[in-house]
Amino acid sequence: MVPTALAVGPHLRAVLPSCVAALAGEDNALRLPRLRSAIVLVVDGLGAASLKARAGHARTLAGALNKTTTITTGVPTTTAAALSTLMTAALPGDHGVVAYAALDPVADRVVNQLSGWGGTVDPLVWQRRRTVFEDAAGRVRSVAVGPKKYRTSGLTAAILRGAEYVAADSIAERFDAAVTAAAEEGTLVYLYVPEADQAAHGSGWQSDRWTEALEEIDGAVAGAVRRLPRGTGLLVTADHGILDVPDGRHILFDERADLVDGVRHVGGEPRMVHLYFEPDLAEAERAALVERWRDAESARAWVRTRQEATDEGWFGPVAPEVAPRIGDLLIAARGLVAYYDTRIAGAGARSMVGQHGSWTPEETRVPLLRYGAAAG
């Protein structure tokens, strides 16, 4: 199966443009009614499947979940890429954030897209597209509410241009700030909650820790719905879903020399690995390396060259300057596995339980729940 066949229905990229249109009383892809203000809550890592499985712990969120309230995030199902897509309404091949960790071909180094900005990578240039907030300036007041530590991050500079950043550390404080901001007519609020994703990475989404985070978020949503200013719509969505991958399902691919001979850099993440070949690797050696990976992993991963993935539309249309950021070979897990090169991934990296990045429905299908004026 070509994995893009899994990405059907409304897309995360439609959310913010639809809100801007709804604030003007215009038709929009999500068929939102006219809104006085709008809040878009992103619960990092909240997949539709995991929400459904824990419905009894999230009555407000799960009560609004049905077959018509899920959307797709596309790939890679990783925060930096998905949030860039949300904020720009563009796909990764266009906006340029193609992985959790991607090659900077100028500096010949792999850059962490969440925390590794700096050096040769200017977030104002690397992320190539104007944001929805920038395009809506003069018509809409844009506010982003998130934790204090993200106020000055490289990713914030890359994707929240045009929005006023309001910092608040606790979940309750962030919800209060969002509701307060929405009281001004014509305001679009982006509200970011990373706690569930953090719990899933550390303990798994099936853990008590994740369930407790979900319960706290659900309670905050219920409280916000009761306090929404008149005419305000609240949309709840996510950047990706998540899977729990036990360490017994880790594939330590560097243990096979024939799978890493000729590989210069490893990027992406454990469920969507980008392999960057040595630039002087002969075509025959490249082809042989690709075939060795296909023979080894095609039963539990989609193995694609950059050109094959581009032709299949994995990243949308790919700009020439973005293409070298994508691996020469992509290993996208379809089984319950995660891929590690232990030469660069220490014990801390392998302690992560919750994983995402690939094409499975658990990773690509996320809620799009509507409350307040957005529900009618």
Instruction: Provide the whole-model pTM.
Output: 0.96
C-alpha closest to that of 357 among 321, 314, 328, 319: 314
User: In the chain, which residues fall in CATH 3.40.720.10?
Assistant: 3-245+359-375
Q: Which CATH number fits domain 3-245+359-375: 3.30.1490.20, 3.40.50.720, 3.40.720.10, 3.40.50.620?
A: 3.40.720.10
User: Do the strands 272-277 and 329-333 form a parallel or antiparallel pair, or are they unpaired?
Assistant: antiparallel
| Cβ count within 10 A of residue 107 | 11
pLDDT at 344: 85
Mean pLDDT for back-to-back runs of 10 residues, the chain (376 residues)? 60 97 97 98 97 97 86 94 98 97 94 82 94 97 97 95 97 98 98 98 97 98 97 98 96 97 97 98 98 98 98 97 98 96 78 95 96 92
- Structural tokens at position 339: 């891929």
Strand order in the sheet with 272-277: 263-269, 272-277, 329-333, 301-305
| Cβ count within 10 A of residue 244 | 18
Q: Which CATH number fits domain 247-355: 3.30.70.2860, 3.30.1360.180, 3.40.50.970, 3.40.50.300?
A: 3.30.1360.180
pLDDT at 372: 97
> Positive or negative, the Cα torsion across 369, 154, 204, 144?
negative
CB-based burial label for 145 (10 Å; 0-12, 13-18, 19+): buried
Calculate the CA dihedral of residues 78, 267, 248, 197 and round it to 10 degrees.
Answer: -20
pLDDT at 96: 98
pLDDT at 225: 97
User: In the chain, which residues fall in CATH 3.30.1360.180?
Assistant: 247-355
